[in-house]
Amino acid sequence: MSPRAIALIDVNNFYVSCERIFNPKLEGRPVVVLSNNDGCAVSRSDEVKALGVKMGQPWFQLKDLAKKHGIIAYSSNYTLYADMSHRVMNILATFSPNQEIYSIDECFLDLTEFKTQNLTLYGQLIRQRIKQWTGLPVCVGIGPTKTLSKLANHLAKKHPEFNGVCVRQLIKKKCGSNVLRSVKYGASEENLLLN
């Protein structure tokens, strides 16, 4: 049996990205979204991640850093995020007859029947359409299993050379085998990703 092609599509910094759609001035600025009662950081912009803020870090610990770097904090608005999630999932459903919604901002699409097409281009089309129709940035990872598509998605997020779409078979060609050094994978996962 020839290998399948499974895509994992994941919105980047989902809650922060939703807030940015309605307030474009937040673009390029350090933004966090806080959990219920403003307890902890549950979504971080890249600028906030670069300051070393961890997922789930309590907001009271971050007050000094926030003051120093002008971090903008939002209370979470789950009605908005659920609505944006529906829009994203409905659009993604048009790209494959086989969709599995995995979380509020992630889903798998079975692209096996599109394997004769250029999967990088297909992934870029998905990315562009989500951006154009919702304003949200997504990354796409494609591999023969769900686990590998998830790992490929991780690489697509971390390495700008993928331009948001990482197809497992092209990892070595695009980045060389050093690309996995930045991430802690088990040896067996590394073999599966590169070979």
Report the nearest approach of Mg ion to the CB of residue 12 (Å).
6
Cα-atom radius of gyration of the chain, to the nearest Å? Answer: 18
Please give the residues from 88 up to 147 whose contact with Mg ion meets the rule CB under 5 A: 105
Q: Using CB under 5 A, which of 5, 8, 9, 14 touches Mg ion? A: 14
Residue placing its CB nearer to Mg ion in the complex, 131 or 181: 131
Residue placing its CB nearer to Mg ion in the complex, 14 or 122: 14
Q: Work out the burial of residue 64: count CB atoms within 10 Å of its CB; fewer than 13 is exposed, 13-18 middle, 19 or more buried.
A: exposed
Report the nearest approach of Mg ion to the CB of residue 14 (Å).
5
Please give the residues from 37 up to 96 whose contact with Mg ion meets the rule CB under 5 A: none
How far apart CA 157 and CA 68 sit, in angstroms, is 27
Note whether 137 and 17 are within 8 A (CB).
Answer: yes
Q: If binding is defined by CB under 5 A, does position 16 make contact with Mg ion?
A: no
For 49, 80, 138, 154, 187, the CA distances from 159, given in Å and listed in that order, are 15, 29, 14, 9, 20
Q: If binding is defined by CB under 5 A, does position 10 make contact with Mg ion?
A: yes
Residues engaged in binding Mg ion (CB under 5 A)? 10-11, 14, 105
